[in-house]
Amino acid sequence: MGVTGKSFEGSSYVSPGARGKFKAPNVSQGVSIDEFTLVIIGKATNGVYCNDSNLTDDERYMVFANFDDAKKVLGGGELLEAVYLADSPSGEDDFAGGPQLFKILNVCPNTKAFFDFPSLETGETHKISYPIPGPNGKKVRIKKNASAKTIEIGNADGSQTSPKLERKILDVTYTGDGQFAKITIDATKINITLSGTVPTDGTTNIDVLFADYPSVGEAVDFINSKLGYVANLIDAPEFLCANLDHIKAVDNISVKTTAATLYANLYEEEIFLKNSGLAEITVGATRKALAGTTNTTSTFRALLLRYGQAGDLLWEKFLDAGT
For 227-263, the pLDDT digits (tens) are 999 999 999 999 999 999 999 999 999 999 999 999 9
| Contact (Cβ atoms closer than 8 angstroms) between residue 204 and residue 193 | no
Q: What pLDDT digit, counting tens, does each position of 152-184 carry?
A: 999 988 999 999 999 999 999 999 999 999 999
Residue 1 maps to a domain? no
- Read off the pLDDT of residues 105-158 as tens digits, 9 standing for 90 and up: 999 999 999 999 999 999 999 999 999 999 999 999 999 999 999 999 999 889
Both 211 and 291 in one domain: the answer is no
Residue 99 domain boundaries: 7-109+311-321
**Residues 138, 60 share a domain:** no
Question: In this structure, is residue 2 part of a structural domain?
Answer: no
pLDDT exceeds 70 at position 19? no
Pick the range with the lowest mean pLDDT from 21-25, 56-60, 100-104, 285-289: 21-25
**Residue 51 pLDDT grade (very low, low, confident, very high; cuts 50, 70, 90):** very high
Same domain, 70 and 120: no
> Is the domain of 227 the same as that of 105?
no
In this model, does residue 283 exceed pLDDT 90? yes
Name the pTM for this structure.
0.82
Q: What are phi and psi of 70, to 5 degrees?
A: -65, -40
Instruction: Please give, one letter per residue, the 3-state secondary structure of 94-149.
Output: CCCCCCCEEEEEECCCCECCEEEEEECCCCCEEEEECCCCCHHHHHCEEEEECCCC
**Number of structural domains, the chain?**
3
pLDDT band at 26 (very low <50, low <70, confident <90, very high): low
**H or E stretch covering 18:** none
160 is a domain residue: yes
What are the CA-CA distances from residue 15 to residues 40, 85, 194 (Å)?
Answer: 14, 8, 77
Q: CA 162, CA 268: separation in Å to the nearest integer?
A: 10
Mean predicted lDDT score pLDDT of the chain = 85
Residues comprising the chain, all counted = 323
User: Distance between CA 66 and CA 100 in Å, rounded?
Assistant: 7
Contacts 24+ apart (CB under 8 A), 52-58: 52/109
